[in-house]
Amino acid sequence: MAKGFMPVTREEMEEQGLSQVDFVYVCGDAYVDHPSFGSAIISRVLQAHGYSVGMICQPDWKKDESINVFGEPRLGFLVSSGNMDSMVNHYTVNKKRRHQDAYTPGGEAGKRPDRAVTVYCNLIRHHYKKTPIIIGGIEASLRRMGHYDYWSNSVRRSILLESGADLISYGMGEKSIVEIADALAAGIAVGDITYIEGTVYKTREEESIYDGIRLPDYEEIVRDKRAYAKSFSLQYKNTDPFSAKRIYECYGGATFVVQNPPAKPLSEMEMDDVYALPYMRAYHPMYEEAGGIPALSEIKFSLTSNRGCYGECNFCALTMHEGRIVQARSHKSIVDEAKVMTGDADFKGYIHDVGGPTAEFRRPACDKQMTKGACVGKKCLFPTPCKNLVVDHKDYIRLLREVRELPGVKKVFVRSGFRFDYLMADPDRSFLKELCQYHVSGQMRVAPEHVSDNVLSKMGKPSAAIYTAFVKEFNRLNEKLGLKQYVVPYLMSSHPGSTLGDAIKLAEYIRDMGYIPEQVQDFYPTPGTVSTTMYYTGIDPFTMEEVYVPRDPHEKAMQRALIQYRDPKNYDLVKEALLREGREDLIGFGREYLIPPHKMKPVDKKHKKQTPSAAGRRGQDKHKMKNTRPGKLRTDAKSGKSGRKRR
């Protein structure tokens, strides 16, 4: 199999003995030939099946000639926004423009357009009227049907219609893209490719849609939020490759967008084959002068162990994109890749991660999933673990041991998210012990997201009691091992269901932890999630019951401020929230309070001391608090109230 980068210029194409490429891949990311980048996987898979691919990465969409680098491809154009939705890449949750782009040379922003897939397709169509266009990647995959778009605050049409493309290859795409290529190579017109799993096509003939479920029409979901919630529920219930039906949506009474069932999961051998392809594991040399691609440094020495997730957090789009059925690589495949890493000149002995969407998921949730699929209408872990769930960390423990015992490897970290509820469901604490002993460095980041069971139920997350039990067990094991390591939680504000009262409850919990989180994530309504449907409609699509949604920017600011209540700039927002909820009991001097009655003057940073007035007010506090480490909870034996552990 050919080694080296895919051609990025006509000269490179000709140097590789090609007069015309089979496919031109237009991508919103810079060209990085590494298996953590979707464009690299798809282009290498096509190459392995005998197809040539030319890469046009981050073309200047304002210049027509930027799309003509290779001329017309023999079979078609492939278009992706890159590893991220272009709108998420460009804007914060407050819809402010981001100043950096990790997938661009030197981190420079502005090298791709908003709604990149649509813009690139329009540019192609301007020059190549009839050449097939196949779109894929996260932006196309999660916008495959009518969807709520946060940035325009509207329900937009399927991206297949907006972009003018011929097909969507949704999900991970390795199987469907090869079938599409084979069909085109066999001379089948792109309009007749209507049968491939993992694809979305369009037609004007409803009678040709075999055994399909008709979703509410696009015009109906635009005017009726209950119809939108119902439509999303039907889509969500048809994401499993074994049980899903064909679903379709009508536009204007004449055009139908049809989603075929998802592609079947990759077998272990197929996964191994994908990751054994001859990736250069580097960005193209043309980016060297600009400083390289920042995103590569984050994952260059990380290992993908699995894909798919049955955790099903409602704010996550994995169910709609990768699916619920976990697929894993063999130990040999992963160890072989680790050996390649150790030979890299930049390798310093540290493997940054061995994981995936959920680190310790190394097999399907239960034995029936690979033949009958995941249960429709039930979740494997929520609200409690299913009785059929296979809870076993032994395989993952063996894998981590094999990797960390390789010559040249000093430390193997586990930085992927892991499910502490799955871990706590395992009566054998061997995995947690090894995790603490070998794979954590001071802090373990986990994602309880909230502590109010009211909010957690809308997130699809386990009860707060499970997280508290996990922290207690983590602390116990670290104390037994003689290690000073701490849990650092990821927390989210303003998720659907979260009231100011819930936000205050979270602030009290943070007070009891003894430290303020440095980072807080406001809920971001991105396409393809249950939570986004709740945000837009105010309805839980599973129960069709109403859900409180904090949409007012001022209330959202208060909820966020409560998580970082000690920051002086948040004082007014925190006080307003407490007064609004009648929680004056949290205003005062002492460890049981969130804020003092009056705003303190700031610290004189130049001389590193408080101004006299601030120091004087602090002196009124007879229960002055000392610094504590994260993750430690205390209980005041006299009052029974939770507070910070004193040292």
What single string gives the DSSP state of each residue in 461-496?
Answer: ---HHHHHHHHHHHHHHHHHHT---EEEEEEEES-T
Taking the model in full, what pTM does it have? Answer: 0.90
Token pair 């995941």 is found at: 374
From residue 524, how far is each of 92, 293, 412 by CA, in Å? 8, 25, 32
Q: Which of 413, 417, 414 is nearest to 358 (CA)?
A: 417
Is residue 567 situated within a structural domain? no
pLDDT surpasses 50 at 630:
no
Is residue 387 situated within a structural domain? yes
pLDDT surpasses 70 at 490:
yes
Number of domains in the chain: 2
pLDDT surpasses 80 at 504:
yes
How confident is the model at residue 517, as a pLDDT?
82
How confident is the model at residue 417, as a pLDDT?
83
How confident is the model at residue 600, as a pLDDT?
66
How confident is the model at residue 519, as a pLDDT?
76
Last residue of a domain, one of 199, 219, 245: 199
Domain that holds residue 421: 301-441
Is residue 335 situated within a structural domain? yes
What lies within 8 Å, CB to CB, of 157 at 6+ separation is 146, 218, 251
How confident is the model at residue 537, as a pLDDT?
98
Same domain for 307 and 175:
no
Instruction: Mean pLDDT check: name the lowest of 366-375, 520-529, 592-601.
Output: 592-601
From residue 641, how far is each of 152, 503, 512 by CA, in Å? 46, 18, 9
What is the rounded average pLDDT for all residues in the chain?
A: 92
From residue 488, how far is each of 56, 477, 524, 624 by CA, in Å? 41, 16, 21, 24
Where residue 312 sits, what CATH number does that domain have? 3.30.750.210
Q: Which residue has the higher pLDDT, 608 or 528?
A: 528
* Per-residue pLDDT tens digits for 540-569: 999 999 999 999 999 999 999 999 999 999
Same domain for 316 and 181:
no
Is residue 172 situated within a structural domain? yes
Q: Which residue has the higher pLDDT, 88 or 418?
A: 88
What lies within 8 Å, CB to CB, of 616 at 6+ separation is none
pLDDT surpasses 60 at 627:
no
Last residue of a domain, one of 199, 225, 251: 199
Neighbours of 544 (CB within 10 A): 12
Last residue of a domain, one of 143, 171, 199: 199
* Pairing, β 76-80 against β 133-136: parallel
What lies within 8 Å, CB to CB, of 326 at 6+ separation is 306, 307, 308, 309, 310, 358, 361, 362, 363, 364, 365
The sheet carrying 486-493 orders its strands as 443-449, 486-493, 521-522
Is residue 296 situated within a structural domain? no
* Per-residue pLDDT tens digits for 99-138: 999 999 999 999 999 999 999 999 999 999 999 999 999 9
Q: Which of 516, 530, 606 is nearest to 562 (CA)?
A: 516
Is residue 512 situated within a structural domain? no
Instruction: Mean pLDDT check: name the lowest of 210-219, 489-498, 506-515.
Output: 506-515
